[in-house]
Amino acid sequence: MLQFGRFALTRAIMALITLLIVSIVVFSLMELVPGDCAERYLSYKQTQGVAVSMADIQSERVRLGLDRPFFERWSTWVVGAFQGEFGDSCILRVNIAELLGSKFWISLLICVSSLVLAYAIAIPVGIIAASSRNAFLNNSLRIVSYLGLAMPNFLLALMIMLVATVYFGETLTGLFSAEYRDAPWSWARFVDLMKHAWLPIFILGWSATAFALQTVRALMSDEIGKLYVTAAKARGLYGAKLLWRYPARHALGPIVNSLGFDLNRIFNELPIVALILTLTEAGSLLIDALAKSNDQQLAGAIIFLLTASIVTLNFLTDLLLAVMDPRIRKSILR
Amino acid sequence: MNISTKNIQDSKESYFTASQSQLIWARFKKQRAAMIAAGVLGFIIFIGIFAPAISPYDPTIAGRDKDYMNGAPQIPSFCDKNGCSLRPFLHGVERTRSAETNFRWVEEPNEDIRHYVELFSEGAKYDLFGLIPMDTHLFGMQDADKKIHIFGTDSSGKDIFSRTLHAIFTSLQVGTLGVLISFVLALVIGGVSGYYGGRLDSVIQMVTDAVRTIPAIPLVMSVAAFVPSEWTAEQRFFMIAIILGLIGWPTLARRVRTHLLTERNQEYVLAAQLCGASSSHIIRRHLLPSFTSYIIVDLVISFPYMVLTETGLSFIGLGLKDPVNSLGVMLQNVTKADVLLNYHWYFIPVLFFIALVMAFVFVGDGLRDAADPYGESKK
Amino acid sequence: MKRILLSGVALVLLPGAVLANCPNITVADMQGVSAGAYPNQLELSEFQSAASCEMNYSENPSIAALNSQIDGNGKLASVADRLPEEPLVIIPYASIGQYGGTFNALSNATEAGTSDFLSTRHTTMFRYSDDLQTVVPNVAKSWAWNDDFTQLTITLRKGHKWSDGSAFTSADVAFWYNNLMMDTNIIENAKDYTLAGGEPMVVTTPDAQTVVFDLAAPKPGLIETFSASFIQPFQPRAFLGQFHPDINAGADALAQAAGFESGYDVIRAYFGSSDWTDTPTMMFIKPNEVDNLPANTMPTLESHIIIAEDAEGRHLVANPYFHQVDTAGNQLPYINEQDERYVPDTEVRILKLINGEVTYKAQSVSLDNLPILLDNADAGNYSVDVNPGITMPVISFNVTSEDMAKREIFGDLRFRTAMSIAMNRDEINEVVYFGLGEPEQFTGITPLPEFIDAKWKSHETGFDQDRANALLDEIGLVDADGDGDRDLPNGDPFVLNIQFSTQAHSAQLMEIAAQNWVDVGVASVVKEVTSDEFRSAQSANQLDVTSWGQGGTLGVSMGSNQWYVPPFGTYFDTRTGMLWAEWVDSDGANGVEPPEYVKGMMVDINILQSSAPGSDGQIGAGKRLVEAMASNLLFLGTVKASEPVYRSNDLQNIVQFKTTSYDFYRTYPYNPSQWWLSE
């Protein structure tokens, strides 16, 4: 038990260090990109047609604190980050924690829902695909799910929106309808959110399903051929009971392992879809901060929160796996 | 011994003496879906490699057709009201646009004018495989002033068929590079991490996790900033492909490592160690082949992911853009409301893209099934 | 007795005759009333005497309800008390409007793509009328210059009130200048438009309605700043001043009681440290502290005031104290509310436009969207006008390139001429602009004023490949190694390194130009980059060829010399001659000395800026500037495109704009306050 506790502690420390490393890397990557917050902010103004001089840009930089040395800026930021205080966004001029507020949770909700949807489809379909002899069923199931992979998300989103606009007169944008936009949280607001969020969940879920399906099918195929399955068949088990009791449970081990990173992958795809569907949540804010405004504070904050979620999830799944799978437990405690 | 017994004996012997790849190929051949997919994949790769020869025109702005912008696909016919002909031909068209037509081109075909299509026509010069200078194209128009567009044209008059073929080639190149790099890195790092375990494993895992969490966008943006401005757009993108490979290895590495953690306690590993085999020998000859299936699946699946990542990045303004030809760029051109509503032929490269991805995926599945040593019992 | 009776009746009747209501004249139907001193508007006294009437005011029936949504506003007085003693009478273009409706607007983000919506409620001292030449009064009632343009006197309107009902006086203008623009705690480096001859102005207020600006050097362009830009040279002294330490000794204490660190913090949070009116309000940046403050946004003189703001958009209602009325005495604006939504993605914006969800949009709508907009115009109940623009994409060569061989080539006028005539502008016009544009050469000042010869607009814009080839041969760019491309005189290959950003112009334009140049043997490598990469490469003098949208009105040149002094553009435009700029800035210590014609331009722009508008000095300088710019082809003009304007068919009293451009501040010259929505 003590050993297990030590294992858990080691994992926790490693998770923390990972968080720090990623934050440094992201922060410094933003430094390397040409055009800082001051320039971008003022260039907005330039597109509105006003003349801006280099002196204006420089004083804007000083105002935003961009002329302080890198390490100083990063350390003040990271210390605040661990307390949940992310400072102000340099472009939007708002306190980031307030801006992100419920948005990050909504993004997480969408991503997790997509993941759940993906595996809810992939696991049964993968098991069927791996064990069934019916080639037609096998192939058609696979074609439908892989289509989600092949079709780029943004194209799918745009096509759906187009059909909705042209044939139904509804642009399916936004996460809330007008009445619920600024209202406080309630069951009705949650239902309204679900009515709008089904589209991004569907789009992201479909492409995630393909990846998950591949994985499940591969793992199941491996396990089904193994001797213990043959032994179980010899003992008289068959059908779904056989599948579930033996190979499926073992195949699922690696899947649990990769949940954290699946979440990361989905979160990487979310911004582009969110951009098209005009969802105001953390994903589209992130893309704006990274690709358009070089808003280090905002981008750093969102990535920090995301990394924290993934790292936490990884930590939990590692522990879970160590509990579930005695082989891993043994290896670790060598 | 009679002939049939000998044959059976031969085939059994050949089965036992066959190498791994021969076994895999034998099993792969039996799966219909995978063979079809392999055929499609092979076809697409072939036309990508021979793109300059098969496409009738230069895919850049130099090869554009000023008289046929945003034009619909032209399929040559053999017969019309004036009779039939062995050689296929197109009718002449009059195109106009003005404020009355909302600036959309309106066509008036003229049934009395015929323009003939010929095979192996002479056209723009190119270098086959980058080495052999040639100027013969698979097909073209007899009259050098007229052009045939079997997939239609885009808004500046570039032939979509030519663009698609060249785009396939560019995307294949980029994908291959990225996948190779991530593959090699994943094997090495995951292998070491999984085999040795313990503290080394913990440290490597931390690094792997950190790399895995870094979002692609700021990484690509900052790399793009470092690239010298004299490089062409394609060269710059190879740089990005390399970077994508460098952040793509963690997924496979983690799987490799997990698998190794369990496999290294198996008896055959113990046996090899007792025989005095070195660690690297054990990893290479014994452990790695045990999950060839994972590797193959991941390799083949990573490929379209590279291309998908390229399209996603290009969409937000990084990656490749016009006038470069890649599937990602052509996808960008489709992602406009106007195009989706009115110029549906821009979608054709998307179909190629989908076919390419699906082919890769089905081939991957097929290979995985074929490579699985325990899979004898099914199919 | 009869006489008394008769005179009594007369006394009763006569005033009745004078007290007739004012006729509801419109620009379309003036009903015989003579126009005032300025087009499309009248001062109250002018109107009443010209039409022999007395104006009776009426108000928006919903104004009390709208007022209750404005934070910090008390009960409303009657409309006659809310208007100035002499409100500005705007003559509606087509019809007297009906109150009501919500104006739906789209912007890209909180501070991006907003200026055309901002201009619909903008208010400043003066305005350019819709002929884009006459300056007319707005907030100000009148103005006067002294003889040598060193003193400007502005007269305001008595009884003019801020949107919270407090009085608007000259003290508010002085507050804006002395306590905001010149206070380094709020604006660190004084903005260029607040200085004259590099020195601060002296702003004095002899009485509550008079403001006097004393300038160190003549600056006729000061009128431009107060009429054609987003700047509003007044801020509420009573409201903001309570937080200003120089005005209220207890400012900091007051600020701290509300949860801020100091009075300046509060002012910065309200004012945004910039005269832009789209900076986020207190509601957005400090939602927790805003309830402790007297109002959630500053009082304004604009036609609408913000009442709600978040990350998705803003909502505004009509200002109950707006100073304009129409000819029937109705207080403007007609439109009750404005709702602005942010949509960053272009394709989604287009979808919303074709779905008819937007009332008006011009910015960020480009010509290539024209077909799809026109297709859906009937279903979406909107119209699209196409008007000429003012800027056009220009291409320039790096005349102070680091590569000496290229520098010599680019510096040769024959090369630039050859490149100009090798470009097939008609092809570009046809492919990129549907043939709706005008091929034109870059003259700096656009539109070209009448006193300048129009021949410069078509200088070297013809398409002549033979002559181009001959010129290139002449300067020594011949094909030495037989590969089909020209090489430098020293034998090295000659390849142009072209980078551009699609924020400036479409990719096709550059593709076609590059192909045209390949046709005369000049090879190039074309690459699209982001705007930031373009700007930093440009600043670092690394590019061979640069391009952007360039051009501005005569008024702009009167205020700023950026087009005629190296590097001939701001950081955010296209620039050339970076090393000449260094020479100028360092007074000859570093950099490369520019040729005579550049020095001549620098002298002439000074003359232009300090001469009276319309004087011989200005005309002469203007002619010389255009000649120098166009004949030396520092910037090659391409095609002056038209830009579309989208408007809902429900929007009334909107006229076709003369130009679709930022200059003159977008919709401002066309009296957007008299727009109204029919259902």
The β-bridge partners of B107 are B95
Is residue C546 over pLDDT 80?
A: yes
Classified as helix, coil or strand, C474 is: helix
The percentage of residues in chain B with a pLDDT greater than 70, rounded to a whole number, is 82
Q: C529 and C547 in contact (C-beta within 8 Å)? A: no
Average pLDDT value for residue range C378-385: 90
3-state secondary structure of A218: helix
Contact A152 B312 (CB under 8 A): yes
Out of B61, B66, B102, name the one closest to residue C511 (CB): B61
C306 within 8 A of C281, measured Cβ to Cβ: yes
Token digits of residue C536: 């930093």
Mean pLDDT within C434-458: 86
C237-259 mean pLDDT: 90
- How far is the C-alpha of A120 from the C-alpha of B277, rounded, in Å? 44
Instruction: Name the burial class of residue C523, with classes exposed (0-12), middle (13-18) and buried (19+) by CB atoms within 10 angstroms of its CB.
Output: middle
For C47, the 3-state DSSP assignment is: helix
Asked if C66 and C318 count as a contact pair (C-beta separation under 8 A), the reply is: yes
Nearest in space to A202 (alpha carbons), one of A301, A298, A270, A302: A270
- A236 to chain C, any CB pair closer than 8 A? The answer is no
Is A57 part of the contact surface with chain C (CB cutoff 8 Å)? Answer: yes
Between B293 and C150, where is the model more confident? C150
Q: Which two tokens stand for residue A7?
A: 């294992």
Q: What residue ranges do the domains of chain A occupy?
A: 2-92, 103-292
Tens digits of residue pLDDT in B244-261: 777 778 777 877 777 777
pLDDT tens-place string over residues C569-614? 877 778 888 888 888 888 888 888 888 989 999 888 888 887 877 7
Phi, psi angles (nearest 5°) of residue C446: -135, 145
Q: What is the spatial distance between Cα C457 and Cα C440, in angstroms, rounded to a whole number?
A: 5
Distance from CA of B210 to the nearest CA of A (A): 5
Give a three-class secondary structure readout of chain B: CCHHHHHHHHHHHHHHHCCHHHHHHHHHHCCHHHHHHHHHHHHHHHHHHCHHHHCCCCCCHHHCCCCCCCCCCCCCEEEECCEEEEEEEEEEEEEECCHHHCCCCEEEEEEEEEEEEEEEEEEEEEEECCCEEEEEEEEEECCCCCCCCCCCECCCCCEHHHHHHHHHHHHHHHHHHHHHHHHHHHHHHHHHHHHHCHHHHHHHHHHHHHHHHCCHHHHHHHHHHHCCCCCCHHHHHHHHHHHHHHHHHHHHHHHHHHHHHHHCCCHHHHHHHHCCCCHHHHHHHHHHHHCHHHHHHHHHHHHHHHHHHHHHHHHCCCCCCCCCCCHHHHHHHHCCHHHHHHCHHHHHHHHHHHHHHHHHHHHHHHHHHHHCHHHHHCC
pLDDT of residue B377: 45
Q: A301: exposed, middle or buried (C-beta count within 10 Å: 0-12, 13-18, 19+)?
A: buried
pLDDT for residue C194 is more than 60? yes
Q: Which residue of C has its CA nearest to A174?
A: C312
CA gap C309, C109 in Å, rounded: 12
Q: What pLDDT shows up at residue B108? A: 85
pLDDT at C74 over 70: yes
The mean pLDDT value for C139-161 works out to 92
Strand partners, B91: B114
- Give yes or no for residue B50 having a pLDDT over 80: yes
Instruction: Give the Cα separation of C350 and C369 in Å (integer).
Output: 8
pLDDT of residue B84: 82
pLDDT tens, position by position, C97-125: 999 999 999 988 777 778 889 999 999 99
Nearest CA in chain B to A259: B251
User: Is the pLDDT confidence value at C141 over 70?
Assistant: yes
**8 Å CB contact between C399 and C577:** yes
Encode A282-294 in three state secondary structure: HHHHHHHHHHHHC
Give the distance, in angstroms, between the CA of residue B175 and the centroid of all CA atoms in the same chain. Answer: 7
> Which pLDDT does position C65 carry in this prediction?
93
Query: Is residue A247 over pLDDT 60?
Result: yes
List CB contacts (< 8 A) between B254 and chain A.
257-258, 261
Tell me the mean pLDDT in the region C548-575.
Answer: 81
Query: Other CB atoms closer than 10 Å to residue A74's CB: what's the count?
Result: 17
pTM above 0.90, yes or no: no
Interface test with A, best of B217, B300, B344, B367 (most A CBs within 10 A): B217
C-beta separation of A48 from C114 below 8 A: yes
Q: Does residue C214 register a pLDDT over 90? A: yes
**Looking at chain A from residue 80 to 109, which residues have their Cβ under 8 Å from any Cβ of chain C?**
88, 91-95, 98-99
**Predicted confidence (pLDDT) at residue A240 exceeds the cutoff of 90:** no
Give the dihedral sign, CA A288/A290/A296/A299: positive
Separation of first and last alpha carbons in chain C: 59
Q: How confident is the model at residue C330 (pLDDT cuts 50, 70, 90)?
A: very high
Q: What percent of chain C has pLDDT over 90?
A: 34
- ipTM exceeding the 0.85 mark: no
Q: How many other CB atoms are there within 10 angstroms of residue B106's CB atom?
A: 12
**Three-class DSSP category at C43:** strand
Spatial contact of C530 and C502, defined as CB atoms under 8 Å apart: no
Closest CA to C664 of C554, C513, C506, C510: C554
- Per the CB < 8 A criterion, the answer to whether B179 and B62 are in contact is no
pLDDT per residue as tens digits for the range C286-322: 777 888 888 889 999 999 999 998 878 899 999 999 9
Tokens in use for C562?
């950026």
**B337, C537: Cβ pair inside 8 Å?**
no
Q: Name the CA dihedral angle for B16, B19, B22, B24, rounded to a multiple of 10 degrees.
A: 90
Do the chains contact at A272 and B315, CB–CB below 8 Å? yes
Cβ neighbours of A328 (radius 10 Å): 18
Say what percent of chain C tops pLDDT 70: 97
Q: Which of A167-181, B302-316, C388-402 has the highest mean pLDDT?
A: C388-402
The residues spanned by each domain of chain B are 74-148, 163-377
Distance, CA of B344 to chain centre: 23
Whole-angstrom distance, CA of residue B215 vs CA of residue A303: 8
Among C484, C557, C562, C550, smallest CA distance to C517 is for: C484
Phi, psi of C46 (to 5 degrees): -55, -50
Identify which of C391, C444, C455 has the alpha carbon closest to the alpha carbon of residue C621: C444
Average pLDDT of chain A? 75
Amino acid residing at A225: G
Helix (H, G, I), strand (E, B) or coil at C248: coil
Percent of residues, chain A, with pLDDT higher than 70: 77
Dihedrals phi, psi of A192, to nearest 5 degrees: -60, -40
**A-B contacts (CB, under 8 Å):** 174
| Site from C343, C497, C527 to mutate, B interface, most B CB atoms within 10 angstroms | C527
Query: Which among A166, A180, A199 is positioned nearest to A277, based on CA atoms?
Result: A199
- CB nearest C285 (choices: A94, A169, A294): A94
Does residue C665 register a pLDDT over 90? no
pLDDT digit string, tens, across residues A73-119: 777 777 877 777 777 666 666 677 777 777 788 888 888 888 889 88
List CB contacts (< 8 A) between B225 and chain A: 32-34
Residue A258 and residue B251: Cβ atoms within 8 Å? yes
pLDDT of residue B378: 45
Q: Which helix (H) or strand (E) holds A162?
A: helix A153-168
The string of DSSP codes covering C517-566 is HHHTT-EEEEEE--HHHHHHHHHTT--SEEEEEE-B-HHHHHH--TTTST
Mean pLDDT computed over C182-210: 86
Kindly report the CATH number that applies to the domain delimited by A103-292.
1.10.3720.10
Per-residue DSSP letters for A187-210? Answer: HHHHHHHHHHHHHHHHHHHHHHHH
Whether the ω angle into residue A326 lies within 30 degrees of 0, i.e. cis, is: no
Write down which chains contact chain B via at least 3 CB pairs under 8 A.
A, C
Q: Higher-confidence residue: C189 or C395?
A: C395
**Under an 8 A CB cutoff, do A225 and B361 touch?**
no
Which residues in chain A are contacts of C115 at CB distance < 8 A?
48-49
For A:117-156, CB contacts with B below 8 A are 131, 133, 135, 138-139, 142-143, 146-147, 149-155
pLDDT in tens, C475-525: 888 887 777 788 888 888 888 888 888 777 888 888 889 989 988 989 887
- With contact defined as beta carbons under 8 Å apart, do B345 and B161 qualify? no
* C-alpha span between C621 and C604 (Å, rounded): 5
Question: Residue B156 is nearest to which of C497, C508, C542, comparing CB atoms?
Answer: C508
Question: Shortest Cα distance from A88 to chain C (angstroms)?
Answer: 9
Choice between B24 and C423, residue whose per-residue pLDDT is larger? C423
**Polymer length in residues for chain A:** 334
Which pLDDT tens digit goes with each residue over B136-191? 888 888 777 788 888 988 887 888 999 999 888 888 887 788 888 888 888 888 87
Tens of pLDDT, residue by residue over B56-86, are: 888 887 788 888 888 888 888 888 887 788 8
**Rounded Cα gap, residues B354 and A152, in angstroms:** 9
Q: pLDDT class for B223, splitting at 50, 70, 90?
A: low
Interchain proximity C348–A280, CB inside 8 Å: no
What one-character DSSP code corresponds to residue C72?
A: T
Residue of chain A with shortest Cα separation from B337: A162
Residue indicated by tokens 């037989």: C482
Mean pLDDT of chain B: 78
A168-203: per-residue pLDDT in tens?
766 667 667 666 666 667 788 788 888 888 888 888
Whether the predicted pLDDT of C16 surpasses 50? no
Paired tokens of C414:
């024959």
The alpha helices in C434-506, defined as continuous H runs, are: 465-474
- A150 or C331, greater pLDDT: C331
Looking at beta carbons, which residues of chain C come within 8 Å of A95? 285-286
Which amino acid makes up residue B174? V
Average of per-residue pLDDT values in chain C = 87
C670-679 pLDDT tens trace:
999 999 999 7
CB C171 within 8 A of CB C237: yes
- Give pLDDT, residue B5: 76
Give me the pLDDT at residue A183, please. Answer: 65
B222's tokens: 């900052």
Q: Which of C281, C539, C571 to mutate to test the interface with A (most CBs of A within 10 A)?
A: C571
Q: Give contacts of B41 with chain A, Cβ < 8 Å.
A: none
What is the CATH architecture of B163-377?
Orthogonal Bundle (1.10)
A282 interfaces chain B, CB cutoff of 8 Å:
no
CB contact under 8 A, B323 and C511: yes
Question: Which of B195 and C339 is assigned the larger pLDDT?
Answer: C339
Q: Which segment of A26-40, A233-247, A298-312 scores lowest on mean pLDDT? A: A26-40
What is the rounded average pLDDT of the residues A241-260? 73
- Closest residue on chain B to C540 (Cα): B229
